[in-house]
Amino acid sequence: MRPAVLTGEHYMTGDVACAEGALAAGCLFFGGYPITPATEVAERMAHRLPEIGGTYIQMEDEIAAMASIIGASCAGAKSMTSTSGPGFSLMMENLGLAVITETPCVVVNVQRAGPSTGLPTQGAQGDMMQARWGSHGDYEIIAMSPASAQEIFYLTIEAFNLAEKYRTPVLIMTDEVIGHMSERVIIPKAREIKTVERVKAKGRKDRFRPYAAGDLGVPPMANAGDGYKIHVTGLTHDEMGYPAMTVEAQYAMMDRLVGKIRNNVKDIIRYEEFMTEDADFIIISYGVSARTGWAAVEEARARGMKVGMLRLITVWPFAEDKIRELAARVKGMVTVEINLGQVHLEVERCVAGRVPVRLVGHPGGTLISPDTVIQTIKQEFGV
């Protein structure tokens, strides 16, 4: 019998590290469906969950996988699923259900090149805008992008913590390269891992208002079987959780739903700056492309170019203020991502023409070379 937290030094892939992070965070339910390159997350969970008293189930499709983790979370279990592009598309409707019902859960997207079946075994970062806007209607979402196997372990724990704290689905937007790359992963002792649990409903059961704002705008949560006899619906609802088909109800619900994320971006957003203090040019990157960015910064510095990098760890919500601040003091920016310009659009929006912004990207299947980044900076900014 192995414990939930496999304390020690390991050599494991990003997918496996992701699964171990979930277990360390207290995940007890995984609804899976095989898809390259995310299958290894499900396989690891299928091995490990029964060992620690959790449950793995292989559902009939990704729609069902997503529905099952929402159901499991409503029953009180921290729950997760993993997928890649095609499955991510199928999960979008129920992702919206998790958003509107404020059900904590974690969805891992090990991205591959699309559209459609695309390049199943080769990485990309082409689902970033889908992560932001893929389900219909307005909403806010949290999406994190790890750059190493070690980081995916920690970010998966963080994802569960944010999901529980804000009662929202959290996305881990990783990619094939991180997912399949074996690296050293150090798993700390269980007591050194900080885990967050949802704020539970308390007080008189007949007076409980399941969707009345609590701290940070997040309502305390009653799980199924807690005796609160709550109603949960995907329809626009009032504080009782009852369907309310009015403009006023829509305003009130959306205000809180979106507000609980927007008003707490300082707590949610994580990023890392690398040699930005004196930089003239900034690389904006995330996930595996940040590794290109690091190499490019070091190479550029060696050539005497003042280049730094802002690495987005939380991609959504977007680090708008940070990018505006950088735009005010640098001469140019490049977005490095493996797609044809997604996060790049957000960078352009925040920079708002103050400095030139260029994209270094391609449609997926391989990584971006640091040389391409340096060449772009040279050509575009005349360094």
Partner 1 sequence: MTIAQEAIREATSHPLDDLLRTERIPHIWCPGCGIGTAFSSCLIAMKESGIDLEKTVMVSGIGCSGRGAGYVKLDSYHTTHGRAIPFATGMKLANTDLNVVVFSGDGDLFAIGGNHFIHAARRNVDITVVCVNNFNYGMTGGQAAATTPHLAKTTTTPLGNPESPFNLPLLAYAAGASYVARWTTLHARDLTTAIQEALANPGFSFVEVLAPCPINYGRRNKEKPLDTLRLFQDKSIIKNNAHPTELDVDWEKGVVLGTFVNNPRPCSTDMYDKTCRLEEKPEKKTAA
Q: Which amino acid is at 174?
A: T
Pairing between strand 271-274 and 142-144? unpaired
Does 106 contact partner 1 by CB under 8 A? no
Instruction: Choose the binding region for partner 1 from 70-78, 157-165, 187-195, 346-354 (rule: CB under 8 A).
Output: 70-78
- Check binding of 42 to partner 1 (CB under 8 A): no
State the minimum distance, in angstroms, from the CB of residue 202 to partner 1: 13
Q: Using CB under 8 A, pick the residue from 13, 39, 73, 292 that binds partner 1.
A: 73
Nearest to 329 by CA among 271, 270, 273: 273
Residue ranges with strand state E in 72-211: 78-83, 105-113, 119-123, 142-144, 169-175, 182-187
Query: Measured between alpha carbons, how far is residue 157 from residues 26, 105, 166, 237, 303 in Å?
Result: 8, 12, 14, 31, 39
Count other Cβ atoms within 10 Å, centred on residue 340.
Answer: 12
Is the Cβ of residue 92 or residue 345 nearer to partner 1 in the bound state? 92
How big is the site for partner 1, counted in residues (CB under 8 A)?
52
Q: How far is the CB of 345 from partner 1 (least distance, A)?
A: 29
Alpha carbon distance 186, 39 (integer Å): 22
Nearest CA-CA partner of 262 in 112, 153, 142: 142
Determine, following the binding rule CB under 8 A, whether residue 380 of this chain makes contact with partner 1: no
What residues from 49 to 68 belong to the interface with partner 1 (CB under 8 A)? 50-57, 59-61, 63-65, 67-68
Q: How far is the CB of 250 from partner 1 (least distance, A)?
A: 17
Q: State the binding string over 187-226 for partner 1 (x if CB under 8 A, else -).
A: -----------------------------------xxxxx
3 is a site residue for partner 1 (CB under 8 A): no
From residue 238 to residue 257, the character string flagging contacts with partner 1 as x (rule: CB under 8 A) and all else as - is ----xx--------------
**Please, which residue, 228 or 381, has the CB nearer to partner 1?**
228
Backbone torsions φ then ψ of 5, nearest 5 degrees: -105, 115
SS3 category, 9: strand
Q: Is 78 in the site for partner 1 (CB under 8 A)?
A: yes
Of the candidates 24, 77, 172, 268, which one interacts with partner 1 according to CB under 8 A? 77
CA dihedral over 14, 191, 142, 48, signed as positive or negative: positive
Of residues 5, 14, 15, 31, which one binds partner 1 by CB under 8 A? 31
Of 160, 166, 211, 228, the one binding partner 1 (CB under 8 A) is 228
Q: Cβ neighbours of residue 287 under 8 Å, at least 6 residues apart?
A: 125, 145, 146, 147, 173, 174, 175, 178, 337
Q: Residues interacting with partner 1, by CB under 8 A? A: 1, 28-29, 31, 50-57, 59-61, 63-65, 67-79, 93-94, 96-97, 101, 222-235, 242-243
